[in-house]
């Protein structure tokens, strides 16, 4: 009888503690620490994502430990992951430079109870819990193309005729960027069959200086190119700077892609680019941190579950195959979460965004 009474009292104490926490308004991730590892530091996209993570985390009682480096390569990220493990963080939120090369180290972290979320660029699904994706390839590939279409029309080019185009982004091992290229190029073949790809994609390895030199190479090799699509936030400003260096404007060549507004206003004002897109990477970084910490806190999620992220809203756990066809999803604590929206930036709205 005494044992039963003790168990009842213990249960009451736990319930009372939970009720007190709820009454105090504490979030499920209160008091936890998540390591925020960008693909590369110093890039406006990743800095804005960290800013958003820091902003939201303050309201959640979550500590976001920014662990970055100015070099975007596998050995550097492996070192940063190890730093996070050594620090004893509760969770890791990372944008990966490679689709598979970080798997073993991240699996080591998860085996130690440090759950992992990815955002922007993914790893193998069995090496992380949740991926916070900006959108599916079926959404983002055509978006890249249609931004180019609108800018080509502004130049008076008939998009139903021959349009010479090329892609410029990080490298083919960055899974999400490559999937956008594949989906976008297929969209071109289906929707604009008269367009001509003047070359295979150009790659600049997420390197700011290289993105300019590669950008100049594109323009030198293909002086009559009509459209250059840059599906990463280093390649786009680099390609625009290359055009600026050569005295070209949006009247001469259409350049579009993905980048935060802060990284492109110089080229908008210089008349080099009139339209590009992205999503709120501050919200994306914050979601990644919250969800990694949420699972590390002992919460279990399944495909179809909905999670209310304070200050952001309700999100749903989707299967990995919703993002990459054929990918399997573990029975629990595995899947994809999508951002609610994307944005096209022009001179009419760019001042409305501060990242």
- Are both 87 and 174 inside the same structural domain? no
Please report whether residue 84 resides in a domain.
yes
Please report whether residue 157 resides in a domain.
yes
Rounded-to-integer distance, Cα 224 and Cα 228, Å:
11
Please report whether residue 193 resides in a domain.
yes
- Are both 162 and 274 inside the same structural domain? yes
- Are both 72 and 124 inside the same structural domain? yes
pTM of the model: 0.78
* CATH number of the domain within which 238 lies: 3.40.50.2300
Long-range CB contacts (within 8 A, 24+) of 59-62: 59/27, 59/310, 59/311, 60/27, 60/29, 60/30, 60/290, 60/310, 60/311, 61/26, 61/27, 61/29, 61/30, 61/31, 61/32, 62/27, 62/29, 62/30, 62/32, 62/33, 62/34, 62/289, 62/290, 62/293
- Are both 51 and 126 inside the same structural domain? yes
| Residue pair 122/175 in contact by the 8 Å Cβ criterion | yes
Q: Which of 263, 278, 293 is the last residue of a domain?
A: 278
- Are both 141 and 274 inside the same structural domain? yes
- Are both 214 and 187 inside the same structural domain? yes
Per-residue pLDDT of the chain (355 residues; tens, 9 = 90+): 333 333 333 333 333 333 333 335 689 999 999 999 999 998 888 998 999 999 999 999 999 999 999 988 999 999 999 999 999 999 999 999 999 999 999 999 999 999 999 998 999 999 999 999 999 999 999 999 999 999 999 999 999 999 999 999 999 988 889 999 999 999 999 999 999 999 999 999 989 999 999 999 999 999 999 999 999 999 999 999 999 999 999 999 999 999 999 899 999 999 999 999 999 999 999 999 999 999 999 999 999 999 999 999 999 999 999 988 899 999 999 999 999 889 999 999 999 887 8
Please report whether residue 17 resides in a domain.
no
Q: Which of 228, 248, 278 is the last residue of a domain?
A: 278
Give me the number of domains the chain comprises: 2
**pLDDT for the residue numbered 173:** 85
- Are both 158 and 256 inside the same structural domain? yes
- Are both 218 and 176 inside the same structural domain? yes
Please report whether residue 350 resides in a domain.
no
**pLDDT for the residue numbered 11:** 35
Please report whether residue 213 resides in a domain.
yes
**pLDDT for the residue numbered 24:** 53
Residue holding tokens 């759950």?
115
- Are both 261 and 310 inside the same structural domain? no
Range of the domain at 151: 137-278
Please report whether residue 13 resides in a domain.
no
- Are both 274 and 286 inside the same structural domain? no
**Helix, strand or coil, per DSSP, at residue 49:** helix
Q: Which of 236, 258, 278 is the last residue of a domain?
A: 278
For residue 30, count other CB atoms closer than 10 A to its CB: 14
Rounded-to-integer distance, Cα 96 and Cα 72, Å:
9
| Residue pair 197/163 in contact by the 8 Å Cβ criterion | no
Could you tell me the two tokens for 187? 């969209």
- Are both 266 and 171 inside the same structural domain? yes
Please report whether residue 348 resides in a domain.
no
- Are both 181 and 233 inside the same structural domain? yes
**pLDDT for the residue numbered 43:** 85
């Amino acid at each position: 009888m005494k044992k039963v009474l003790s168990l009842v009292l213990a249960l009451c104490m736990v319930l009372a503690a939970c009720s007190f926490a709820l009454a105090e308004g504490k979030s499920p991730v209160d008091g936890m620490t998540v390591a925020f590892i960008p693909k590369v530091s110093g890039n406006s996209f990743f800095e804005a994502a960290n800013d958003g993570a820091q902003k939201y985390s303050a309201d959640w009682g979550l500590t976001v430990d920014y662990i970055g480096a100015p070099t975007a390569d596998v050995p550097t990220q492996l070192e940063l992951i190890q730093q996070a493990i050594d620090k004893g963080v509760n969770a890791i939120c990372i944008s990966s430079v490679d689709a598979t090369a970080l798997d073993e180290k991240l699996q080591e972290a998860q085996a130690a109870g440090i759950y992992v979320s990815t955002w922007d660029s993914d790893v193998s699904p069995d090496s992380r819990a949740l991926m916070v994706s900006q959108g599916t390839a079926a959404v983002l590939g055509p978006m890249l193309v249609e931004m180019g279409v609108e800018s080509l029309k502004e130049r008076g080019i008939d998009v139903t005729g021959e349009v010479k185009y090329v892609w410029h982004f990080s490298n083919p091992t960055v899974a999400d960027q490559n999937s956008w290229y594949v989906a976008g190029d297929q969209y071109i073949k289906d929707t604009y069959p008269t367009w001509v790809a003047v070359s295979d994609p150009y790659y600049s390895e997420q390197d700011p200086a290289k993105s300019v030199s590669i950008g100049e190479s594109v323009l030198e090799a293909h002086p009559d190119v009509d459209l250059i699509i840059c599906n990463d936030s280093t390649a786009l400003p680099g390609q625009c700077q290359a055009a600026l260096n050569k005295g070209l404007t949006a009247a001469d060549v259409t350049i579009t892609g993905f980048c935060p507004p802060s990284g492109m206003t110089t080229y908008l004002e210089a008349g080099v680019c009139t339209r590009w897109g992205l999503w709120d990477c501050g919200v994306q970084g914050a979601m990644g941190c919250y969800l990694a910490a949420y699972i590390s806190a002992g919460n279990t999620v399944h495909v179809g579950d909905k999670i209310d992220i304070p200050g952001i809203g309700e999100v749903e756990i989707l299967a990995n195959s919703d993002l990459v066809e054929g990918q399997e999803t573990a029975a629990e604590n595995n899947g994809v979460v999508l951002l609610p929206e994307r944005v096209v930036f022009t001179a009419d709205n760019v001042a409305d965004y501060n990242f």
